[in-house]
């Protein structure tokens, strides 16, 4: 392995820069040249590829977003279009590609390794949603979680002052982990997530119960994958007469300087991706399980059911917010 490339793709997440930095430094340490592909698969098609040096990733570990930029590139799903991207790697003699992104990005990487036996591919899980199989945590999840906590702590101050119910809509696509972990961290009365069917009538009863036992405010955490905060408020109004306000945290959840946990995770996973390439591995996604580095074939990542959901955490949040 003499030359590899790295790209970030799909939705960006805090810690992607730290992962790119780890890939670049680990590779150069092992006498491997590294190329950065700008704008994800779009850059691969446009031949927007530049050699990266040790200094190229200096002063990036603390930055949110991705200095390689990310993009969605729907054309990359077409085999004829992909040929061009693969050719842009081959003409430089690039033998390994590290793709940092979500499972859509992994699918692109899988296709490349299927269609070109000379290029090995490794996926690194970069998304705030924590929705990728084969890892307990994705890069960016912890930072987004902390951003939500910080925001809700502020909302809670005003909620208490006015004895209000706040409905907080958080990201996560079809995965409830952000809502679940944030809900536990802020002491939400109710957490509404895709993995557990929740009756709004029951949510209304919990809020009512809280008010009657003297609670000053209620926080309802709703994952975007179930419904919007606004719909939740409308449904609640059918059962209970409370002063409910909706807060949609939106894209602030994707930004910010990565937390220590995300920087360490990104560094470990980025370094491990290079190790796997050096060992001749391909079509695998790296991850962390029980704090150990691990890797899983893309095939297994795709066929597994949704990212493992922790029912114990969910049940405990219910017990702690009565």
Instruction: Please give the annotated binding residues for Mg(2+), written as ranges.
Output: 103
Site for ligand ADP, residues 42 to 81, rule: CB under 6 A:
72-74, 76-77
And the tokens for 275? 């190790």
Please identify, using beta-carbon distances, which residue of 18 and 246 lies nearer to ligand ADP.
18
Annotated binding site for substrate, which residues? 127-129, 164, 171-173, 224, 245, 251-254
Under the binding rule (CB under 6 A), the answer on residue 103 touching ligand ADP is yes
d(CA 106, CA 125): 9
Tell me the CA distances in angstroms from 81 to 43, 46, 70, 119, 137, one per residue in order: 12, 11, 18, 17, 32
Residues binding ligand ADP: number (CB under 6 A) = 18
Q: In the set 43, 85, 96, 108, which binds ligand ADP (CB under 6 A)?
A: 108
Residue 48 bears catalytic tag: no
Out of 12, 48, 129, 262, pick the active-site residue: 129
Measured from the CB atom, is 77 or 289 closer to ligand ADP? 77
Token representation of residue 2: 């003499």
Residues 2-41 that bind ligand ADP (CB under 6 A): 9-11, 41
Distances from the Cα of 121 to the Cα of 145, 277, 283, 307, angstroms: 29, 8, 5, 22
Question: If binding is defined by CB under 6 A, does position 101 make contact with ligand ADP?
Answer: yes
Q: Which is nearer to ligand ADP, 23 or 188 (CB)?
A: 23
Minimum Å gap between C-beta 102 and ligand ADP is 3
Write down the least CB distance from residue 240 to ligand ADP, Å.
37
Shortest CB 44 distance to ligand ADP, Å: 9
- The residues annotated with a catalytic role in the active site are 129
Interacting residues toward ligand ADP by CB under 6 A: 9-11, 41, 72-74, 76-77, 101-105, 107-108, 111, 127
């Amino acid at each position: 392995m003499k030359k590899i490339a790295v790209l970030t793709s799909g939705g960006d997440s805090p810690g992607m820069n730290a992962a790119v930095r780890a890939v670049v430094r680990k590779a150069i340490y092992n006498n491997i040249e590294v190329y950065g592909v700008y704008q994800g698969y779009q850059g691969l098609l446009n031949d927007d590829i530049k050699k990266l040096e040790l200094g190229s990733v200096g002063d990036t570990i603390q930055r949110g977003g991705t200095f390689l930029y990310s993009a969605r590139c729907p054309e990359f799903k077409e085999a004829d279009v992909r040929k061009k991207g693969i050719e842009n790697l081959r003409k430089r003699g690039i033998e390994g590609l590290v793709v940092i992104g979500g499972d859509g990005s992994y699918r692109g990487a899988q296709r490349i390794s299927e269609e070109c036996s000379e290029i090995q591919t490794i996926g690194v899980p970069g998304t705030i949603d924590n929705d990728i199989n084969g890892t307990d945590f994705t890069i960016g999840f912890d930072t987004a979680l902390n951003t939500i906590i910080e925001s809700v702590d502020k909302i809670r101050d005003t909620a208490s002052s006015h004895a209000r119910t706040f409905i907080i809509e958080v990201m996560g696509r079809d995965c409830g982990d952000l809502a679940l972990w944030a809900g536990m961290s802020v002491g939400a009365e109710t957490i509404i997530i895709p993995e557990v069917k929740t009756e709004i009538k029951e949510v209304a009863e919990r809020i009512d119960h809280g008010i009657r036992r003297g609670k000053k405010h209620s926080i309802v955490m709703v994952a975007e994958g179930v419904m919007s905060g606004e719909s939740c408020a409308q449904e609640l109004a059918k059962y209970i007469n409370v002063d409910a306000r909706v807060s949609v945290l939106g894209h602030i959840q994707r930004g910010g300087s990565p937390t220590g946990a995300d920087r360490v995770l990104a560094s470990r996973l980025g370094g491990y991706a290079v190790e796997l390439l050096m060992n001749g591995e391909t079509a695998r996604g790296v991850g962390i399980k029980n704090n150990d580095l691990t890797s899983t074939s893309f095939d297994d990542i795709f066929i597994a059911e949704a990212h493992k959901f922790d029912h114990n955490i969910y049940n405990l949040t219910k017990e702690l917010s009565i």
